[in-house]
Amino acid sequence: MRCTAKMLAESESELDEEHALAAKELADQVVAGQVSYTLQRGDFLIVNQHRWVHGREPLGDGQDGVSPEN
């Protein structure tokens, strides 16, 4: 499962009120249990995708200016 607030906002217009409320409550629970890790150079993270939900946050300050070779 991949869950982002953007997905909920995009699908709300297609849902009836009951399903939109259920989707919002689920999204709130997913966000409440969210944990973020900031990786440093040389770090890596292995995620068991059958056990954990994972997503991608926007780039942090300065990350967009890092050259591909770095």
pLDDT top residue among 13 and 29: 29
pLDDT for the residue numbered 43? 93
pLDDT for the residue numbered 2? 57
Q: Which amino acid, residue 66?
A: V
3-class secondary structure, 12 = helix
Say if 16 falls within a structural domain. Answer: yes
48-69 pLDDT tens trace: 877 776 666 677 788 778 787 7
Distance from the first to the final alpha carbon of the chain: 31
State if pTM tops 0.85.
no
Say if 24 falls within a structural domain. Answer: yes
State how many domains the chain has: 1
Residue 22 scores a pLDDT above 80:
yes
Say if 56 falls within a structural domain. Answer: yes
Say if 21 falls within a structural domain. Answer: yes
Q: Which domain holds residue 40?
A: 5-65
Q: Average pLDDT of 35-42?
A: 86
3-class secondary structure, 49 = coil
Q: What is the DSSP letter of 61?
A: T
